[in-house]
Amino acid sequence: MAAVTLRRARCWCPSLLQFFRLPVAQVHLSRPAMRASQQDFENAMNQVKLLKQDPGNQVKLKLYALYKQATDGPCNMPKPGVFDLVNKAKWEAWNSLGSLPKETARQNYVDLVSSLSPSAEASSQGKHEADEKAQKSKDIVVTSEDGITKIVLNRPTKKNALTFEMYQDIILALKNASTDNSAITVFTGTGDYYCSGNDLTNFTSAAGGMEEAASKGAVVLREFVNSFIDFPKPLVAVVNGPAVGIAVTLLGLFDAVYASDKATFHTPFSHLGQSPEACSSYTFPKIMGSAKATEMLLFGKKLTAREAWAQGLVSEVFPDSTFEKEVWTRLKGYAKLPPNSMRISKELIRNNEKEKLHAVNAEECTTLKAKWLSEECINAIMNFVSRKAKL
Ligand SMILES: CCCC/C=C/CC(=O)SCCNC(=O)CCNC(=O)[C@H](O)C(C)(C)COP(=O)(O)OP(=O)(O)OC[C@H]1O[C@@H](n2cnc3c(N)ncnc32)[C@H](O)[C@@H]1OP(=O)(O)O
């Protein structure tokens, strides 16, 4: 059986920003010679897209190298330039396989994927285990107290940027919260930021490159936003600091938004060569009118908390010095209201447009998938990753 041993280490390539401090994979393939069929190979490729846990960049590089070796044979590309960090790392991983035969690369790819995938038994274990996973996730902390389920974005060193794993954990946390004993569910962030939006390295660290990241991203995004559209209880955002990208657009699907006066609201989609998501192409013009929505979604105008309140995106703004105390006192009071009444009232409001929201979500995801592969977007992301430019 293939065994993957992970050890934490500083990266072998000091210039690769996002590849720093990531697990290094040592893959020992001691399995007796076997032939993986083309079908096994394709199944393994599909399995990779469904991995719930990010296997780390080193494993992803290994997967990429084995995939290229299995499909194209030995590395036949010119070595990318020294500043093309991501492609250079990929090239090196592929080139390191030398003249490994295609069949062996295919088998090693299948073995590696099967060592990463949870077994059928593990994935069919009950909800209890699912709850535990959400609770244990280090980047999303879920607690339930005083009738409130709190979902905290807990990645302050990265301004709470959302990784693929965090999207999956939030989907799970919302699923659990929809049936737990709490009356309301609240999102907030740890540290000085509420959330800096999508983790831009989601796109640069995918084993199969941008194409694979775009396909996976569109699937994950659609399911993620659906879980907000369908969430049955009052959903409240406690915006403790700046919010960027999807952290802002999602607010149009919340039932109440409370903001510190230190919070800002920024949707730099055009700067990033991207387009709006989380149904904001529908909710924002509805909330603030098309002229103001255009300033945010097309021109990337950053709003202060008071401006966002004036546009109807925020329910109320509080001085930062008393924000936490005032908001949580208020929410604890709301959580004592009859839960079924709140749920039914929300259902009445949401049912008027649920179908529309699902259709908008689907269309936005399709559009984004194409945008993520555009030159405009790839350049913007590479600029961020290589720190040449900041918003
Ligand atoms: C699959 C579904 C996809 C859904 C798509 C959604 C679209 C979006 O959400 S678009 C918005 C994406 N977000 C951004 O463009 C923000 C990018 N970040 C920044 O511009 C800046 O980091 C900041 C303005 C948020 C903060 O700047 P500041 O100077 O105060 O701090 P930094 O030193 O830049 O950041 C600290 C640390 O955090 C990392 N980081 C911050 N934001 C992100 C991010 N979005 N993705 C990845 N990493 C992020 C930053 O790289 C720093 O890390 P290091 O200390 O390791 O360098």
What's the first-to-final CA gap in the chain, in angstroms? 47
Kindly report, residue by residue over 320-331, the tens digit of the pLDDT. 999 999 999 999
**What pLDDT score does 35 carry?**
76
pLDDT confidence band for 388 (50 / 70 / 90): low
Smallest CA-to-CA distance from 40 within 143, 110, 112 is with: 110
Query: How many whole angstroms from 308 Cα to the centroid of ligand 1?
Result: 21
Cβ(272) – ligand 1 distance below 6 Å: yes
* Residue 26 token pair: 């040592």
Compare 266 and 21 and report the one with higher pLDDT.
266
Cβ(107) – ligand 1 distance below 6 Å: no
Cβ(158) – ligand 1 distance below 6 Å: yes
**What pLDDT score does 173 carry?**
97
Q: Which atom of ligand 1 is nearest to the CA of 20?
A: 56
Task: Looking at the chain, list the stretches that DSSP marks H as alpha helix, in order from N- to C-terminal side.
Answer: 38-49, 57-72, 85-95, 102-116, 120-123, 127-136, 164-179, 201-204, 209-229, 246-249, 280-288, 290-297, 305-310, 323-334, 339-351, 354-372, 375-385
Residues of the chain above pLDDT 70, percent: 85
pLDDT of 12 strictly over 80: no
**What pLDDT score does 192 carry?**
98
Tell me how many degrees the CA angle 22-25-30 measures, rounded to the nearest 5.
Answer: 175
Cβ(206) – ligand 1 distance below 6 Å: no
Cβ(153) – ligand 1 distance below 6 Å: no
pTM above 0.80, yes or no: no
Cβ(195) – ligand 1 distance below 6 Å: no
Tell me if 224 sits within 8 A of 284, measured CB to CB. Answer: no
The mean pLDDT of 92-118, rounded to a whole number, is 88
Protein residue with its CA nearest to atom 11 in ligand 1:
245
Determine which of 20-24, 48-52, 178-182 has the lowest per-residue pLDDT on average. Answer: 20-24
Kindly report, residue by residue over 180-223, the tens digit of the pLDDT. 999 999 999 999 999 999 999 998 888 788 888 999 999 999 99
